[in-house]
Structure 1
Amino acid sequence: MSNLTPVEQFVLMPFLRLHDTIYRKTDGRIGHRIPGMPPSLLLHTTGAKTGRPRTTTLTYAKDGDSYLIVASKGGDDRNPAWYHNLRKSPDCEISAGPRRIAVTARQVGPDDPDYARLWDIVNKNNGNRYNGYQSRTTRPIPIFVLKPLKK
């Protein structure tokens, strides 16, 4: 069962699917930034079960040179598939606009001393939406810090 509200399910989700298609088809040239919305990136991972390449569009915030993404799944009781992909293979790539960047992912949970600070950054960046998602589930919603690899 979905924890999405009717507005999220019937308005936001179709819009996000369209955005995802445009962002992917243009290799990040269109869709990185949409007025009034947080910036988006394409997360390129390897499937934890299949070993196949996977790409997911996610909003992000920045903390220095690191990218912050949140495994909220709209407040669902289960983590998104990409969460498991990053846990198994933390070395991956992102596309922020047309730039493809190699990164290493580090999970940050509520027991980490930096979690509250990072949560504040991502939550404010996303219009306080993550607080609402957290109220829908009992699982602690993890944050991933995507640190660019040095060349």
Structure 2
Amino acid sequence: MSDWNDEIIEEFRRTGGTVERAGFGRDLVLLHHVGARSGEVRVSPVRAIPTDDGWLIAASKGGAPDNPAWFHNLVAHPDIEIETPDDGNVGVHAVRLTGAARDEGWARFTSLPGSSFASYEAKTDRVIPVLELRRR
């Protein structure tokens, strides 16, 4: 997976945020997060939906039975920086949404044109976390 992510990150940076691979377009952000156990800085590309206060992201991991590592890192260290296609580098605070807010955020992901998010949900027994990256 690292090679795939490295290629996405390289294309994102080379093109100013447009990633043609897998049809991502300008819908990704790059999370700069700190390992919960290792303390190492990592970069992960994730699908993001703009909101009034920032961006929504979903810890879908393609419907895997566990959450992605970046999710655990954001829970441990929620103040991070992201790279965006339109706003450049932005400081954000990651907030895990719960209840109706989580469900509304998740509905936005599953209703995206050509979205695979509903199929991810069908593959797993876990409730896929949704976070909002709020501008600091």
Q: Taking structure 1 as the reference length, what is the TM-score of the superposition? A: 0.76
Question: Within 1, Cα distance between the matches of 2:50 and 2:109?
Answer: 8
C-alpha displacement at 1:115, in angstroms?
1.9
What is the number of residues matched between the two proteins? 134
C-alpha displacement at 1:32, in angstroms?
5.5
Pick aligned residue for 1:143 from 119, 126, 130: 130
Which residue number corresponds to residue 123 of structure 1?
110
Tell me if structure 1 keeps the 8 A contact 2:63–2:121. Answer: yes
Q: Deviations along 1:108-149, whole A, 9 cap, x unmatched?
A: 24xx12122111212223633111101000011000100001
Tell me if structure 2 keeps the 8 A contact 1:19–1:31. Answer: no
Q: Taking structure 2 as the reference length, what is the TM-score of the superposition? A: 0.84
Question: Within 2, Cα distance between the matches of 1:30 and 1:42?
Answer: 9
- Is 1:62–2:47 an aligned residue pair? no
Q: Displaced runs of 4+ in structure 1, greater than 4 A? A: 13-17, 32-36
Give 1:146's aligned amino acid.
L
C-alpha displacement at 1:34, in angstroms?
7.2
Residue aligned with 1:95, SS: strand
Note the aligned Cα RMSD (angstroms): 2.6
Which residue number corresponds to residue 101 of structure 1?
90
Instruction: Give the unaligned 5+ runs of structure 1.
Output: 1-8
Question: Within 2, Cα distance between the matches of 1:76 and 1:35?
Answer: 19
Tell me if structure 1 keeps the 8 A contact 2:63–2:124. Answer: yes
Which residue number corresponds to residue 5 of structure 1?
none
Q: Deviations along 1:58-86, whole A, 9 cap, x unmatched?
A: 11111213201110000000110000100
Give 1:20's aligned amino acid.
I
Which of the two has higher C-alpha Rg? 1
C-alpha displacement at 1:15, in angstroms?
6.6
Question: Within 1, Cα distance between the matches of 2:79 and 2:46?
Answer: 17
Question: Within 1, Cα distance between the matches of 2:112 and 2:67?
Answer: 21
Give 2:106's aligned amino acid.
W
Q: Deviations along 1:84-114, whole A, 9 cap, x unmatched?
A: 10010111111002610000001124xx121
Instruction: Give the unaligned 5+ runs of structure 2.
Output: none
